[in-house]
């Protein structure tokens, strides 16, 4: 089992920044690719970004490219999501997930473990 706990959500004005963290415990962190997903009110969950076990490969949904950055610190068993130039449409519950393939996560496949999520609200 892998336990995932997100933190860092909150209320921010449009154009502002937030950094989300996802702390993992349980099995070996480097066994897993990590991803961030979000679900806005009334919408389906969508892929945001993912990173492979080493941090050497990352993937992003087009709507966040150039604004969001995923990274991981394997020594701290933590994955981060730096969100800049936030927009109202970024408002959602952001959840991290662990799985076998960062690339598979793009298509919402292969997530084995989930955190409970953290709410990000961007005011316009």
pLDDT for position 103: 95
Least-confidence region, from 3-7, 15-19, 94-98, 108-112: 108-112
| CB-CB contact of 57 with 73 (8 Å) | no
pLDDT digit string (tens) for 11-54? 999 999 999 999 999 889 989 999 999 999 999 999 999 999 99
Beta-bridged to residue 95, according to DSSP, are 37
Average pLDDT (95-122) is 96
CA distances from 55 to 16, 71, 79, 96 (A): 25, 6, 10, 15
Taken in order 82, 84, 88, 90, the sign of the CA dihedral is negative
């Amino acid at each position: 089992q892998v336990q995932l706990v997100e933190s860092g959500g909150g209320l921010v004005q449009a154009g502002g920044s937030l950094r989300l963290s996802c702390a993992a415990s349980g099995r070996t962190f480097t066994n897993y690719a990590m991803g961030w997903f979000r679900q806005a009110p009334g919408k389906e969950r969508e892929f945001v970004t993912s990173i492979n076990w080493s941090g050497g490969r990352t993937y992003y949904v087009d709507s966040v490219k150039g604004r969001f950055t995923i990274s991981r610190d394997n020594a701290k068993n933590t994955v981060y999501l730096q969100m800049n130039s936030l927009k109202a449409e970024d408002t959602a519950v952001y959840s991290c997930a662990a799985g076998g393939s960062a690339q598979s996560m793009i298509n919402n496949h292969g997530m084995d473990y989930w955190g409970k999520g953290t709410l990000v609200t961007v005011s316009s």
